[in-house]
Amino acid sequence: MALQNIPMDTGLGGDDDDFDIEVDAMDPSLPEGRYLDRELSWLAFNQRVLELAEDPTIPELERANFLAIFASNLDEFFMVRVAGLKRRILTGLAVPTNVGRAPSDVLGDISLKAHELQERHARAWRTLVSPALGEAGIGVVNWSDLDAADRERLDVYFADQLFPILMPLAVDPAHPFPYISGLSINLAIRIRNSKTGRQEFARLKVPQMLPRFIRVDRSESLRNARFISLEEVIANHLDDLFPGMEILEHHVFRVTRNEDVEVEEDESENLIQALERELLRRRFGPPIRLEVSEDMDPVTLGLLVRELDITEQEIYRLPAPLDLGGLFSLGGVDRPDLRFPKRLPTTALALQPSEANGKVDFFDVISRGDVLLHHPYESFATSVQEFLEQAAADPHVLAIKQTLYRTSGDSPIVEALIQAAEAGKQVLALVEIKARFDEQANITWARKLEKAGVHVVYGLVGLKTHCKLAHVIRAENGRLQSYSHIGTGNYNPKTSRIYEDFGLLTADAQVGKDLTRLFNELSGYAIEKKFKRLLVAPLHLRKGLLKHIDTERRNALEGKPSGIRIKVNSIVDEAIIDALYRASNAGVPVEVWVRGICSLTPGVPGLSENIRVRSILGRFLEHSRIFAFENDGDPHTFIGSADMMHRNLDRRVEALVRLVEPAHLQEIHEIFDLAMDPGTSAWNLGPDGVWTRHSLDAEGAPLVDLQDKLMQQITTRRRPRTRR
């Protein structure tokens, strides 16, 4: 995998005279039925998350966390994907899906699978995770499990902390059925007036600002703790809320609404104002899922169905407690023995001080060679964050340009940009305020940056800016020097601790020129036709990747070394998949490492027998994107922000950067070797579209955990000794 005589111009810009691959249409020479449905593939991904919760070898609180992740994932899937599918059906705009099926049929398939998975999810909690937690001393109990002392304490809690903020809403001719906010937990209550004998209905919303599960006892013991759901405490105090009434029935329900935001962009309109208007409208999207406790009586259910205008297919009857996303609130339990072993990220070798308490000059280090970062094994705080903080404080730095897609609420990255602007530097922040479910937070940051004097722009009309770029311009010896960071993940210090990502710090002049051109395009009116070391969407990325894939195909046909390795979150794009099928048919070994959706079908004779697809899930969320091509012994390897989906290739600004240091290429190569090794725990995708987990060897011993292995390797790296 050694590289020699690396050309800096990859030939993947706007000069496509030698490029004759059709990129806009699917290949008619390939058989029909070669794609897997993207929505069902996503549900298969969430099933893999659920399988982690079901795994008895994983610590108990981590299993509860995976149950919560499953629930949170499914909520977003309904709010966005199912909602969008239903909207297109209702408006008559539906077109066949990627597998050629009618959207109404796919919606039916989704419903069947989602019902199956939600029931399995509830069963995993009741029969597997909750009992395991109980054996470890962490109990989630029912009211009937409590003794008199427990109930007395909760009576006081209800009176002091809950009763004053609860708002029971009657439903009668004078009080119409109330608006039910999306994802809120609610009690549907049927009561009888003791004076008139008349039956009434009321809705009570469980406060969302309080912890979902509250501590039952006051014990300070770290070994044992009992919790009860907030709605169960409320349900057992309804007599206090409805004095003089007879409580006939009470049941828990939850509504999921269409919360996908679609902003019709107009160059003459203020984008922030348009988005804020749409965010307000999001709250009142139509219901698309109704979750109810399995014992809900027909009268109450009938009322909810009528008022919410929901179909039978959209009703999910589940055992209590609903919304196991609330298990995130168990995160405060101080039981390290029930969690993954704590591992602290190390500082990247190149950025470690040579002396104790010494300070690293990032500009000096980066000027001596590219630095490849691998988070969370290597610290984000002592690399990317420190780089930007040094740039903000350095008097020789004249300008900083950065993209911000998602960041944390107390972002030191944003604070560094503000400090730089206040110090008189030129600072440009491209804030993507259309980042789904982070829109309001990004609007808030954008306004704070503007007040500090940062030049804030919102990218190009009709495109989301998803690339992860930082560009620093510094005056050195009478000339300007560029220092850049190109990453696969967001500039978010919090998620950097749990998201696996790569980043490149470089002083390469060509990368600097590329980023200068790209930022000019994003902030002004420049239309750049060519980049040297970057592949940029939407103009060049698809064509560049297809050209690389086709080069591997031709090399294989000519008997030259060939191979393709791709790591992505999702692969859906038909043109990319068809190109991989053609490469496979030519004999190119293709390895795809995917976390989520995969519409590619591997291992099919005559179509994809040379393609292997694996998925790895664990304590960290695999988030990096890698594209590696053997290229007849002169490997071309890229990292960046783009998945192989239509939106990334056609409707987003994305950027990949080519790695050129032999050591970096070797590191990527070795990580892929480990990920694809049969001795590594993973899920394999079969030609039937079914994912199969392989976590034990033939003797029943656990296979290698890739993330644990990498953690051990990276944290034990040592600087090579210098000869004297």
Which domains does the chain show, CATH number per domain?
138-338 (3.30.1840.10), 349-529 (3.30.870.10), 535-715 (3.30.870.10)
Burial of 331 (0-12, 13-18, 19+ CB in 10 A): exposed
For residue 686 the two structure tokens come to 């079969």
pLDDT surpassing 70 at residue 718 = no
Strand segments, DSSP code E, in 540-589 are 564-568
Angle at 117 between CA 59 and CA 235, to 5 degrees: 80
d(CA 667, CA 626): 12
270 C-beta neighbours (distance < 10 Å), count: 10
Strands across the sheet containing 185-193: 169-171, 199-205, 185-193, 245-257, 287-293, 315-318
Share of residues in the chain with pLDDT > 90 (%): 67
Q: Of 12-21, 307-316, 425-434, 553-562, where does the model show the most confidence?
A: 553-562
Farthest CA pair distance, the chain: 98
Q: Which of 426, 290, 376 is nearest to 620 (CA)?
A: 376
Active site residue 466: yes
User: What spatial distance separates the first Cα and last Cα of the chain, rounded to whole Å?
Assistant: 31
For residue 707, the model assigns a pLDDT of: 97
For residue 22, the model assigns a pLDDT of: 39
For residue 11, the model assigns a pLDDT of: 31
pLDDT in tens, 252-287: 999 999 876 554 444 434 555 554 455 455 455 789
d(CA 656, CA 537): 9
Specify the range with the lowest mean pLDDT, choosing from 218-222, 368-372, 411-415, 549-553.
Answer: 218-222
Q: How many residues does the chain have?
A: 724
For residue 5, the model assigns a pLDDT of: 32
Q: Which of 704, 683, 710 is nearest to 694 (CA)?
A: 683
User: pLDDT band for position 28 (50/70/90)?
Assistant: confident
| 335 in Cβ contact with 138 (< 8 Å) | yes
d(CA 545, CA 579): 10
| 227 in Cβ contact with 218 (< 8 Å) | no
pLDDT surpassing 50 at residue 19 = no
Pairing assessment for the beta strands 315-318 and 287-293 based on DSSP bridges: parallel
pLDDT in tens, 51-77: 999 999 999 999 999 999 999 999 999
Kindly state the helix (H) or strand (E) to which residue 622 belongs, with its residue range: strand 621-622
For residue 659 the two structure tokens come to 């790695």
How far from chain centre, in Å, is Cα 346?
Answer: 24
| 225 in Cβ contact with 208 (< 8 Å) | no
For residue 471, the model assigns a pLDDT of: 97
- Which amino acid type is present at position 71? A
Q: 428 CB contacts (<8 Å, ≥6 apart)?
A: 399, 400, 401, 402, 454, 455, 457, 519, 523
pLDDT in tens, 98-154: 777 788 888 999 999 999 999 999 999 999 999 999 999 999 999 999 999 999 999
d(CA 210, CA 131): 25
pLDDT in tens, 485-496: 999 999 998 899
Q: Which of the two residues, 86 and 665, has the higher pLDDT score?
A: 665
Stretch 563-569: mean pLDDT, rounded? 98
User: pLDDT band for position 17 (50/70/90)?
Assistant: very low
Angle at 143 between CA 137 and CA 148, to 5 degrees: 90
For residue 267, the model assigns a pLDDT of: 43
pLDDT in tens, 435-489: 454 556 667 777 778 888 888 887 666 778 889 999 999 999 999 999 999 999 9
For residue 99, the model assigns a pLDDT of: 73
Q: Which of 488, 450, 425 is nearest to 621 (CA)?
A: 488
pTM for this model (two decimals): 0.89
Burial of 234 (0-12, 13-18, 19+ CB in 10 A): buried
pLDDT in tens, 494-552: 899 999 999 999 999 999 999 999 998 888 765 566 788 999 998 899 999 999 999 99
For residue 610, the model assigns a pLDDT of: 98
Which 8-state DSSP code applies to residue 98? T
Share of residues in the chain with pLDDT > 70 (%): 86
Q: What is the mean pLDDT of the chain?
A: 87
d(CA 25, CA 542): 13
Q: Which of the two residues, 31 and 507, has the higher pLDDT score?
A: 507
d(CA 141, CA 147): 11
Kindly state the helix (H) or strand (E) to which residue 291 belongs, with its residue range: strand 287-293
pLDDT surpassing 60 at residue 591 = yes
Stretch 409-417: mean pLDDT, rounded? 82
For residue 433, the model assigns a pLDDT of: 65
Q: Which of 463, 433, 460 is nearest to 652 (CA)?
A: 463
Q: Which of the two residues, 83 and 632, has the higher pLDDT score?
A: 632
Pairing assessment for the beta strands 625-629 and 564-568 based on DSSP bridges: antiparallel
The active-site residue out of 237, 250, 251, 466 is 466
Residue 534: φ, ψ to 5° = -110, 150
Which 8-state DSSP code applies to residue 112? H
For residue 14, the model assigns a pLDDT of: 33
| Beta-carbon-side half-sphere exposure of residue 690 (alpha carbons within 13 Å) | 4
Angle at 621 between CA 441 and CA 672, to 5 degrees: 135
Q: Which of 676, 648, 670 is nearest to 592 (CA)?
A: 676
For residue 273, the model assigns a pLDDT of: 55
108 C-beta neighbours (distance < 10 Å), count: 13
For residue 582, the model assigns a pLDDT of: 97
pLDDT in tens, 667-689: 999 999 999 999 999 999 999 99
pLDDT in tens, 362-383: 999 999 999 999 999 999 999 9
Cα–Cα separations (whole angstroms), residue 534 to 402, 462, 539, 666: 16, 22, 12, 20
For residue 723, the model assigns a pLDDT of: 37
| 556 in Cβ contact with 583 (< 8 Å) | yes
For residue 689, the model assigns a pLDDT of: 95
For residue 314 the two structure tokens come to 């959209």
For residue 383, the model assigns a pLDDT of: 96
Cα–Cα separations (whole angstroms), residue 307 to 302, 311, 481, 561, 656: 9, 11, 64, 64, 49
